[in-house]
Amino acid sequence: MKRQLFIYGSGRHTVPFLKYMAEATGKQKPNLCFIPTASGEDQSYIDSFYEVCTQINVTPHVLSVWINSYDQKESFEEIIHKMDAIVVGGGNTLNMLAIWKAQGIDSALKSAYDNGVVMGGGSAGSLCWFNAGTTDSRPKELSIVHGMSFINKSHCPHYNSEKSRRPLYQNNILSGKLSDGYACDDRSAIHFINEQVQTSVSLNEENHSYYVHLKNGIIEEKQLENTIIS
């Protein structure tokens, strides 16, 4: 079974990125599920997901963690395994992962990923799939958070839009606090198949994705070849 992950730098919903995810499923009208845990299930964020979905050929769903057993009779695993693609939103990565672990959602996502459900998202929704990266989920400063390690590399979203992200990410790799990994500008994305880069796509010429690693003790930032989508 082909394992697919599609991640991008910003958590903002865009038609091209969600359309790309939908098409990656190979289904005519896939079930696309938004998980907005990181934003505390912000209603305007959910509304924007539904609005974007009106412009692409999908059946939209939203998975809420704020439920009770009287009203919800399906497990999170049952819901997730009915989907063709899962998109995770931005927000507080640390809190999101803690809730997922408590509810067994992390395990359900891994099982679905291994069985061919396309996974993806931006910001917290991209960081969570990797082994670690920097997050604004704690007070005062960006700090390291450990993800679910679907891909055993580090990750940095918002690479071009937040000035501190790029130097901090590179310094953490240089010091050994983070492994080598992938960074995405806000409007750029990477499609992984079986944990290997398949392609990089972008919404314009100014946004890119990168592989960042150490070479002979020096940080090397390799810009991935981009295809512009709209």
Contact 27, 59 (CB under 8 A): no
Which H or E run includes 222? Answer: strand 218-223
Cα separation, 192 vs 167, whole angstroms: 25
Q: Which of 10, 39, 123, 154 is catalytic?
A: 123
β-pairing, 196-202 with 226-228?
A: parallel
CA-only gyration radius of the chain, Å: 17
Query: What is the model's pLDDT at position 208?
Result: 98
Query: What is the model's pLDDT at position 136?
Result: 87
Q: Where are the domains of the chain?
A: 4-228
Q: What are phi and psi of 89, to 5 degrees?
A: -85, 175
CA proximity to 96, closest of 141, 156, 136: 136
Contact 189, 7 (CB under 8 A): yes
User: In the annotation, is 155 catalytic?
Assistant: no
Query: What is the model's pLDDT at position 106?
Result: 98
- Whether CATH 3.40.50.880 fits 4-228: yes
Q: Which residues pair with 184 in a beta bridge?
A: 209
Q: Which residue has the tokens 């938004």?
A: 34
Contact 87, 120 (CB under 8 A): yes
Q: In angstroms, what CA-CA distances link 201 with 93, 162, 189, 223?
A: 24, 20, 5, 12
Q: Which of 13, 61, 158, 191 is catalytic?
A: 158
Cα separation, 135 vs 71, whole angstroms: 34
Cα separation, 8 vs 1, whole angstroms: 23
Query: What is the model's pLDDT at position 1?
Result: 84
Low-confidence ranges of the chain (pLDDT < 70): none
In the chain the first and final C-alpha atoms are separated, in Å, by: 29
User: In the annotation, is 81 catalytic?
Assistant: no
CA proximity to 154, closest of 121, 136, 175, 128: 128
Contact 38, 96 (CB under 8 A): yes
pLDDT per residue over 159-217, tens digit each? 999 899 999 999 999 999 999 999 999 999 999 999 999 999 999 999 999 999 999 99
Query: What is the model's pLDDT at position 142?
Result: 87
Q: Which residues pair with 143 in a beta bridge?
A: 135
Cα separation, 109 vs 149, whole angstroms: 12
